[in-house]
Each structure stands twice: as C-alpha cells, then as structure tokens.
Amino acid sequence: MRAGRVPNRKSWNETCKGPFQSGVGCLEVEGSPIWGCLFADFRAHLRQIGADLRHLLLAAVPAERLLRLRSLDPDRYQWVSGSGWPDVVDTIRAKPIEMAVVDPLLGGQARAHGIERLRLLFPSLPLLVYTELAPATASVLLQLGRSGIRRVVFHRFEDAPASLRTAIQAELEQSASQQVMQALDGALQELPRELLRALEGMLHAGDEAPTVTALAARAQLTRRTCERWFTKVGLPSPRMVMVLTRLLYAHRLLLDPGYTVEDVALKLGYSKTKTLQMHLRAVFGVTAGELRVSLSTEEALMIVTDRYLKSITQAAS
C-alpha cells in the first residue's frame, strides 16, 4: 500500500449523499443559525483531515518495539520493517521512506555501525533512536551523539503513545519533502492548506502518476476547483508545480551519497530514469551528475522560484 491518502475514507460528497445536499445554509433552531454553519465548519475540518498525509516510515527495531510502533496511529503511519542493516539500506533506496526509527540493538548486540552508516549514506533522512535504557546501550548512544543523532526514546520509560507520537512528528518535520515544502512556502502560501498537503503527498505517491486529477483527489477538491486555485494565486498549472516540487525533492535526495539517479527516479515514481534526467536538465540546465556537485539547495530553490514561480506571481498581482 502506498503512503498517501488514507484508504477507504469517503469524500464529503459520498458521506453526505441523501439528507444533506450542497447549498444548505445556516438553519435556524429556535432562532439561532446553528446546523448549517456547523456543517460548513465540519466540512472544512474533514477536508483538512483528508489532505493529511499517511507517512511511510521504516522501523529497524526488535519485534517488541515494532509492535508498539505499529499500534500508534495506524491511519497516519504506515511501517516497513527491516530485519538487518543491509535490508534497511535497500529499503530506503527503493521505497519513499520519509524517516526511520532505529535501534542499535537490532541483531541482538548493541552496535553503532549500522546507524552510523545510514547517517553517512542518507544525511537527509531523519533518524529517531528507539532503544532500551541499559548499560549495553550507553556507550553506543554517546558514539551516535558524536555522529549528529540527538533524539532518543527509551522503551518503557519515554514511549507512551503521546510521547512517541511527538518524537516521530518532530523528526518528520526535518524530512526532505517537508524541507522542500517549507522552502516553497513563500511562493505557495496563498494556496489552501489541503492543496499544500496534497502537493507534499504527491512527492511520496510512488508509482501513482502526478496528475491534476490525483492532486485534486488528495485535496478532496474537484479538478476544476484545483486548477482555479492555481490560476487565482498566479501560479503555473498544477501539473507544472508538481513537476517543480518533485525536481527540488529529487535534488535534495541526489545530494545524499547513498542514492543513485536510478534510486531517486524509482522513489519518485518515474517509469524511466531518462525522464527524470531530462526534467532536471530542462529546469536546472545541468545533468543529474553535475547537479550533485554544482548546485546547493538554496541555488536550486532560487532557480525554480525566479524562473517559474516569481515572475508569474508578480504578473498576476
């Protein structure tokens, strides 16, 4: 199952067929306009829920902790498990993983090497350590701290659902896709929240084609309403904005030494690596290999905003 919109969740129109038709105003109950306004607010709330992402996360932890992770908000987090560190590396390369929860005790003996290798190969991937508070892990955690890993959750001490949820969300906010969306905030800020969430969701859609219809469905909008929003705020077409966000995301992944161009194309759902290479060259003017060593994230963002977003937005204003 792909990360993205929660399966089997009906849209507002499907849920409310019958007694509640579109165009209902604020109905008066004993002189107070209550129900119509409540339904309008509830509809907006449902759209926000529908636009929320279902995150694909990797768990490289023993079985007991894996069970605890999988019981946490299953409608929001989808987990892929890794049985050993080589398997974990292969999974990160092949799937649209947004962050990883790791334990130095994976495999039985406390060791830092597997986690340090993940940090070296995939520096853009957030890592949360979830392990036991024990003498065997103390020196390993100190070693991991020197590698730049700062957040640790201890089993049976700090892993109540609320605490675990907070730790996961804090790391997710550092994911490459969220960094891209935050960097584009100035250019996309006038879009409604459900469309912004849907745009980020399309980065993790895997083999789902990045069509306007798919974007609108994730935001629980009609295709026509989706297109009108982009026109209204002076942006290029939804299709073009999706391509640009994917290329910025691809650039951030390509800066990680653990990914090949083929890996990135696979993670972003390109059927052919050549197509991704053509898109990168068309937008940034360099090959994927040159992009890795010649363009910073700030420079890539400037190219996209100045050439494709800012001029259109300014013209519209």
Grade residue 228 by pLDDT with cuts at 50, 70 and 90: very high
Say what the pLDDT of residue 78 is.
93
pLDDT digits (tens, 9 = 90+) for 272-316: 999 999 999 999 999 998 998 889 999 999 999 999 987 444 544
pLDDT digits (tens, 9 = 90+) for 64-78: 999 999 999 998 999
Share of the chain above pLDDT 90, in %: 62
Domains 55-172 and 176-316 share a fold: no
Judged against a pLDDT cut of 50, whether residue 14 lies above it is answered with no
Residue at token pair 């650039």:
251
What is the SS3 assignment for 28-93?
Answer: EECCEECHHHHHHHHHHHHHHHHHCCCEEEEEECCHHHHHHHHCCCCCCEEEEECCCHHHHHHHHH
Does the domain at 55-172 match CATH 3.40.50.970? Answer given as: no
- Find out whether 197 and 52 touch, Cβ atoms under 8 Å: yes
The vertex-12 CA angle with 7 and 15, nearest 5°, equals 80
Distance CA 163, CA 184 (A): 30
For range 151-178, the mean pLDDT? 92
Say what the pLDDT of residue 207 is.
67
Mean pLDDT of the chain: 83
Q: Which of 11-20, 47-56, 195-204, 229-238 has the lowest mean pLDDT?
A: 11-20
Domain boundaries, the chain: 12-51, 55-172, 176-316
Give 176-316's CATH code, choosing from 3.30.930.10, 3.40.50.720, 3.40.50.300, 1.10.10.60. 1.10.10.60
The vertex-54 CA angle with 50 and 55, nearest 5°, equals 150
Judged against a pLDDT cut of 60, whether residue 317 lies above it is answered with no
Say what the pLDDT of residue 53 is.
63
For the entire predicted model, the pTM comes to 0.79
